[in-house]
Amino acid sequence: MSISTSIWVWMAALLTLMVYSFLYKDNPFYRLAEHIFMGLSLGYTLTILWYNYIIPRVYEPLFLPPHQWSLIFPILLGMMTFGIFSKKYSWLIKYPLAFYVGGYAGLRIPLLLQSWIIRQVEASFLTPDKFTSLMSSINAILIFAGLFATLIYFYFSKKREHGFGAAAQVGIVFIMVAFGAAFGYTVMARISLLIGRMQFLLHDWLGIM
Amino acid sequence: MILLLALAFSISAKDTPDDGGGSITVNVYNIPEGTARIELSRLEKGDTLFKEAGLISIFKGECEDVSVIDGVEYLYRGKAIAKDTFYIAEIKGFVTSSPQWFNKSRTTVLIFLILFGSVVLTYIQLAKKNPEGLFIRKLPALDAIDEAVGRSTEMGKPVLFVPGLEAITDAGTLASLTILEKVGKKVAEYGSRVIHPNFDPIVMTTAQETLKTAFAEAGRPDAFNKDDVFYLTYEQFGFAAGVDGIMLRERPGAIFLQGYFYAESLILAETGYSIGAIQIAGTNATTQLPFFVAACDYVLLGEEMFAASAYISREPRLLGSIKGSDLAKVVLLFMIGAGVIFGTIAGIAKQGGNPAYMQIFNKMLEFLARGAK
């Protein structure tokens, strides 16, 4: 057993234990860790914004040669966001927001259409080559039935009655099976995070492992 | 060493098609036997020396030079190096790169976009004319909002509303603001209090305005406290730690987790469960839905969030979008059904010695695959 002598390891270990104390109940140690974490993260974000965005993307191109005067327009657009702090000029925020939302939608919609719709339609076609073995046949039919029932579950223009309601029920079963699998998979990943923390406490800090 | 200007070994270069510029595609043909590697060099017009521009894959016979500047003319030279010799080939004339306005490989996407876009726009127009004429079924989670706020008020506890970790550009965040308006009205009517911690500063200012409007519409503008809508931090787990702390100290009776969430979803939902609050979650983050389903009382699954926000607001644009996407689902189901039937017929016909249908079917798949790339 060789306990670490590094002050940073001790600090990280104590903060880890402070956060884990939350598992028992809220206490001053957890609160201390929580406020340190939040304060540090906020300060860190501000520093990153200052050194990675404001200085290289605003100050340097604008005030150092060769001056990129065209940047004044996006900078002004961004500064209009601060209009929210004044009752008189709060309407100014609409313009950067409209630009931001419109641009983002324009970039995202074609990508989502590609990966979430066209790709799925293409993959859902049942062709004879998907029936080469018993397992692949069952798989193909299950995927098709699941897709059909799930789409019905997310159909909002009709009341869930009779056959339509039954199909939606089948849809939710498929959705829950998928959620169950995703849940189990993620819990496994979280356990590996816990193992990592335990290794840090028992090996790096206490040196007993 | 022998220098050979081999006639057979040749090289061509062209502006990379369907890109945003800054790239030239170089191809080599008739790679000599025994070639170990092919070095690419280029000469900028006006210069006298060729400079290294990378290696060309022997297997693909192609490489993309992405270090070029649009509008500058380049001359390319390929050098195929074998064990004891090398071969040199040059392109004929200079080549330049430029961006293209239209990406032809995305034609399928454009067709789908126009198709779905026109359906949605048509429904928006219909909704503007008669918003009550468009039916959207009610979701159980919406009834639960009144119940949760009412129970929280009876217990003398506040309501906590977490809008997720995305910016205002996210559809889930926008839908969460509509739900916030309904929650805000109920809170104002019942004389309770809503706490709204934020991850994004723009979402915070928008949420302040939304709640202010909701309290005013409920006839209680004086009850709105701007300080209840506050900023926490822009760090994912810092935010999660902060919200957890608020849950434990303020002990809200109802918690709304509405918006886009990441890995912190289960941490938030579990803490909410541990304090015994009614939890109504809703997210368009499909990967986080399982955790909300496991730990919350009611969940709006993905698109249900948008349907809920359309149902609450009766806003023509939202109603039109939901009706339009419903019709798109029907069209997609028919497309898949038709594809299945046609694919099966084509398969049977091919086995019977007639491959023509299968060729048409493959062309159809190719068209879709182009859009999926």
What residues does B279 pair with on adjacent strands? B255
Q: Which residues of B touch A78 (CB under 8 A)?
A: none
Determine how β-strand B37-44 pairs with β-strand B51-56: antiparallel
% residues pLDDT > 90 (chain B): 56
Average pLDDT score, chain A: 89
Q: Residue B325 pLDDT > 50, yes or no?
A: yes
pLDDT exceeds cutoff 60 at B373: no
Total Cβ atoms within 10 A of residue B321: 22
- Give B269-284 pLDDT, tens digit per residue: 999 999 999 999 999 9
CA distance A155 to B326: 6
Region of poorest pLDDT, from A28-32, A133-137, B88-92, B272-276: A133-137
Higher pLDDT, B311 or B193: B193
Is the per-residue pLDDT at B55 higher than 50? yes
- d(CA A192, nearest CA chain B) in Å: 14
Report the pLDDT value the prediction gives residue B347, as an integer from 0 to 100: 81
Query: Distance (Å, rounded) from C-alpha B311 to C-alpha B317?
Result: 12
pLDDT for the residue B156: 94
Q: CB contact, 8 Å: B114 with chain A? A: no
**Of the candidates A19, A45, A122, which has its C-beta nearest B365's C-beta?**
A122
**In the predicted structure, residue A126 carries a pLDDT above the cut 80:** no
In chain B, at which residue ranges do the beta strands (DSSP E only) sit? 2-4, 10-15, 24-29, 37-44, 51-56, 62-65, 74-81, 85-90, 159-164, 194-198, 229-231, 254-260, 278-283, 298-301
Spatial separation of the C-alpha atoms in residues B195 and B227, rounded to whole Å:
9
pLDDT score at B313: 82
What does the block give as tokens for B236? Answer: 């994912």
The strand pair at B10-15 and B229-231 is best described as unpaired
The whole-model pTM stands at 0.79
The mean pLDDT of B203-228, rounded to a whole number, is 93
Percent of chain B scored above 70 by pLDDT?
Answer: 97
Q: What is the mean pLDDT of residues B141-148?
A: 88
- What mean pLDDT, rounded, does chain B reach? 89
Which pLDDT score is estimated for B221? 93
Which residue of A125, A147, A185 is the best one to mutate when testing the B interface, meaning the one whose CB has the most B CBs within 10 A? Answer: A125
Q: Is B230 left (phi over 0), alpha (psi -120 to 50) or beta?
A: beta
pLDDT at B112: 85
Provide the pLDDT for residue B333: 87
CB A155 within 8 A of CB B132: no
Inform me whether the pLDDT recorded for A40 exceeds 70: yes
Name every chain B residue with its beta carbon within 8 A of the beta carbon of A156: 136-137, 303-304, 307, 322, 326
Contact B250, B220 (CB under 8 A): no
Q: Which helix (H) or strand (E) holds A80?
A: none
What's the token pair of residue B125? Answer: 């127009």
Report the chain A residue with the minimal C-alpha distance to residue B243.
A34
Task: Please name the residues between 44 and 103 in chain B that touch chain A, using a CB distance below 8 Å.
Answer: none
Q: Predicted confidence band at B184 (pLDDT cuts at 50, 70, 90)?
A: very high
Average pLDDT over residues B250-256: 96
B215 confidence band (pLDDT: 50, 70, 90): very high
Q: Which domains does chain B have, with CATH numbers?
A: 2-90 (2.60.40.10), 135-314 (3.40.50)
Portion of chain A with pLDDT greater than 90, in percent: 47
Instruction: Report, as an integer, the average pLDDT of B301-323.
Output: 88
Confidence category of residue B7, pLDDT binned at 50, 70, 90? low
The top-scoring range by mean pLDDT among A1-10, B255-264, B326-335 is B255-264
ipTM value:
0.82
Domain boundaries, chain A: 1-67, 70-124, 128-209
Chain A, 3-32: which have a CB under 8 Å from a chain B CB? 19, 22, 25-26, 30-31
Per the CB < 8 Å rule, is A118 touching B372? yes
pLDDT tier at B1 (50, 70, 90 boundaries)?
A: very low
Q: Is B109 on the interface with A (CB under 8 A)?
A: yes
Give residue B2's pLDDT.
45
pLDDT, residue B57, reads 86
